[in-house]
């Protein structure tokens, strides 16, 4: 049993200014609005000296960190990423792929299964996020054009049949030929759908929503805005997502991909409940700035990291995020104009609900998993706990 006392507990509704939680066998068993002295407790005891206590951050879109990328296709890479992001408050994540050769993806499934068994010190793996390869070429961003293609049931049906238990979400462009059939098949296996790297217009987004595409992957990035066809204006994916309440949006709130006016606009239109913060981090997250590689070591693209973001070497465009979860929370408060509880909700309750896991994680409440982060006024992480076990503690 572990008692954490003298903490400012962030709940979905308020901040308990001097609270205590009790953890037993990885579950929160008590939530008290008072200080508990060491002599009142029979197990381990921690005086957090006024730190904030929140649910652990859930990152549903992350590619790498700490010098590793999931597309390296090694167990060591998976574990390195998980152990890197736990230092920044992430307690659960969806390892995310890039467009690749079919054989490379099949190899990744096997590696992921091994990593699941060996991951004892890093953020939980909640299932894979397949980002691609079914994308619009015009909106490919940093995705490798060699591997971009239309949905083909001869490819995706065997993957779904054999590996559906390993896949949590799949991102695709819904306007592609066969994309609606693909979406229906994905949903049959209980896998979440998201629209991504898409050139759709409003009339193509509507049937996509009806067929399960109800999350916008890295909103504003890799998607169409207002366009003209034969002199007429058409709403793109950006306007469609802002307009349609059925679509939630995930955002890279690093202050670079989406500067302050965009963060405020998205929040004004979509509201706290429809926003999910994601890092979309590549291997350079948690590393010094300089040269890096986007994607796998074997087939990746050379990039340079400067100014808190990865760019192509000619600096013509961004080439990946190096954000960590603490930075997202900090940016939403300082630039997005939201309260601390709202920012925390966007990376805890909201992703847990979208994944259908909100009955066991994403909230500080009795009966929930004790996946917890403690941080200071600047969202500097001091402790990260997974299932009540301290996986990271700030030194000094």
123 DSSP assignment: P
Residues 241 and 271 in one domain: yes
Residues 63 and 47 in one domain: no
pLDDT at 164: 97
Residues 156 and 302 in one domain: yes
Q: Which two three-digit tokens encode residue 34?
A: 């008072």
Residue corresponding to tokens 């065997």: 158
pLDDT at 240: 98
pLDDT at 239: 98
The total domain count for the chain is: 2
Residues 347 and 387 in one domain: no
Residues 37 and 122 in one domain: no
pLDDT at 68: 98
What DSSP element (H or E) covers 92?
strand 90-95
pLDDT tens per residue, range 94-147: 999 988 888 889 999 999 999 999 999 999 999 999 999 999 988 887 788 888
Strands 389-393 and 381-386: antiparallel
Instruction: Report d(CA 20, CA 28) in Å as an integer.
Output: 11
Question: Which residues lie across from 128 on neighbouring strands?
Answer: 167
pLDDT at 41: 76
Instruction: Report d(CA 306, CA 216) in Å as an integer.
Output: 27
Q: What is the 3-state secondary structure (H, E, C) of 184-230?
A: HHHHHCCCEEEECCECCEHHHHHHHHHCCEEEECCCCCCECCCEEEC
Residues 257 and 281 in one domain: yes
Instruction: Report d(CA 202, CA 208) in Å as an integer.
Output: 10
Cα–Cα distance list, 39 to 30, 31, 49, 362 (Å): 17, 18, 17, 30
Q: Is residue 216 part of a domain?
A: yes
Question: Which residues lie across from 23 on neighbouring strands?
Answer: 2, 28
Strands 128-131 and 27-32: unpaired
Q: Is residue 360 part of a domain?
A: no
Residues 176 and 243 in one domain: yes
- Ranges of residues in the chain whose predicted pLDDT is under 70: none
Q: Is residue 32 part of a domain?
A: yes
Q: Is residue 156 part of a domain?
A: yes
3-state secondary structure of 117: helix
Residues 205 and 324 in one domain: yes
Q: Assign residue 20 the CATH number of its domain.
A: 2.30.40.10
| In 256-316, beta strands by DSSP E | 275-277, 290-294, 301-306, 309-311
Residues 6 and 64 in one domain: no
Residues 177 and 268 in one domain: yes
Give this prediction's pTM.
Answer: 0.97
Q: Are 126 and 94 within 8 A, CB to CB?
A: yes
pLDDT at 100: 84
3-state secondary structure of 19: strand
Q: Is residue 171 part of a domain?
A: yes
Domain of 116, in residue numbers: 57-355
Q: Is residue 343 part of a domain?
A: yes
pLDDT at 271: 98
Residues 207 and 273 in one domain: yes
Q: Is residue 261 part of a domain?
A: yes
pLDDT at 33: 95
Residues 162 and 192 in one domain: yes
Q: Is residue 224 part of a domain?
A: yes
Q: Assign residue 123 the CATH number of its domain.
A: 3.20.20.140
Instruction: Report d(CA 252, CA 278) in Å as an integer.
Output: 5
């Amino acid at each position: 049993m572990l008692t954490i006392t003298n903490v400012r507990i962030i709940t979905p509704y308020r901040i308990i200014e001097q609270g205590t939680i009790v953890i037993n066998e990885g579950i929160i068993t008590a939530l008290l609005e008072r200080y508990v002295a060491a002599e009142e407790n029979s197990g381990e005891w921690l005086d957090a000296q006024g730190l904030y206590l929140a649910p652990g951050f859930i990152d549903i879109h992350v590619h790498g960190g700490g010098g590793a990328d999931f597309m390296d296709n090694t167990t060591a890479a998976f574990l390195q990423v998980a152990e890197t992001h736990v230092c920044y408050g992430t307690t659960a994540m969806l390892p995310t792929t890039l467009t690749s050769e079919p054989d490379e993806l099949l190899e990744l499934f096997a590696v992921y299964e091994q990593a699941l068994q060996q991951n004892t010190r890093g953020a939980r793996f909640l299932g894979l996020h397949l980002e691609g390869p079914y994308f619009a070429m015009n909106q490919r961003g940093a995705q490798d054009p060699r591997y971009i293609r239309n949905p083909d049931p001869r490819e995706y049906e065997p993957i779904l049949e054999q590996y559906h238990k390993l896949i949590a979400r799949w991102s695709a462009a819904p306007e592609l030929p066969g994309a609606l059939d693909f979406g229906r098949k994905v949903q049959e296996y209980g896998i979440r759908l998201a629209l991504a790297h898409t050139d759709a217009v409003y009339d193509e987004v509507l049937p996509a929503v009806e067929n399960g595409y109800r999350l916008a992957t890295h909103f504003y990035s890799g998607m169409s805005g207002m366009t003209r066809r034969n002199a007429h204006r058409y709403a793109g994916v950006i306007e469609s997502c802002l307009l349609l309440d059925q679509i939630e949006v995930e955002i890279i709130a690093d202050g670079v991909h989406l500067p302050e006016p965009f963060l405020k606009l998205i929040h004004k239109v979509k509201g706290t409940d429809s926003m999910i913060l994601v890092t979309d981090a590549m291997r350079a997250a948690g590393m010094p700035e300089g040269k890096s590689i986007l994607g796998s070591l074997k087939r990746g693209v050379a990039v340079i990291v400067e100014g808190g973001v990865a760019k192509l070497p000619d600096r013509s465009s961004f080439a990946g995020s190096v954000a960590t979860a603490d930075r997202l929370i900090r940016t939403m408060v300082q630039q997005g104009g939201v309260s601390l509880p709202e920012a925390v909700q966007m990376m805890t309750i909201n992703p847990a609900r979208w994944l259908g896991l909100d009955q066991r994680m994403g909230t500080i409440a009795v009966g929930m998993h004790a996946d917890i982060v403690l941080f200071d006024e600047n969202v500097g992480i001091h402790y990260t706990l997974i299932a009540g076990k301290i996986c990271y503690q700030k030194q000094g």
